[in-house]
Copies of this chain bind each other. A is one copy, B any other.
Amino acid sequence: MDFEQLRYQVAAFAQDRDWDQFHSVRNLILALVGEVGELAEIVQWTSDDKIDELLKSGGRERLAQELADVLIYLVRVADKSQVDLAKAVSDKLAENDAKYPKDKARGNAKKYTELRDEAP
């Protein structure tokens, strides 16, 4: 599946149900926040070192469900605000590549604004 196919399917789903009236940009962002909340809930009581255990005991399936929900709203926000999501992500990857040069960014999690003045 590519982004255009997904955009189309999600749009058709809404149109078939006459849901465009509810899909304002702000409504969709709030709905996305709701799904991100459900994503967070899955891992909220599972400390970092117990995540594998969670994934193996049903956590992976629950994450899959919530990641899909977030993605669907994300695609829909992009569509309703006339953002070309494939282009946006492609531009962003190029931008990140320039912001975080491999030699300077290797092995550290600093923000790019802090990387500038550092020796590689």
Contacts and interface: CB of A to CB of B under 8 A. Distances in A.
Interface of A: 1-3, 6, 9-10, 13, 16-19, 21-22, 24-27, 29-41, 43-49, 51, 55, 59-60, 63-65, 67-72, 74, 77-78, 81-93, 96-97, 100, 102, 105-107, 109
A1 B1 contact: no
Copies assembled: 4
A102 B19 CA distance: 10
B19 A97 contact: no
Tell me if A's interface is mostly helix, strand, loop or mixed. Answer: helix
B29 A39 contact: yes
Given A17-B107, A67-B83, A85-B68, A29 B24 contact: no
A68 B45 contact: no
Contacts of A17: 100, 102, 105-107
B60 A81 contact: yes
3 closest pairs, A vs B, by CB?
A37-B37, A68-B92, A64-B88
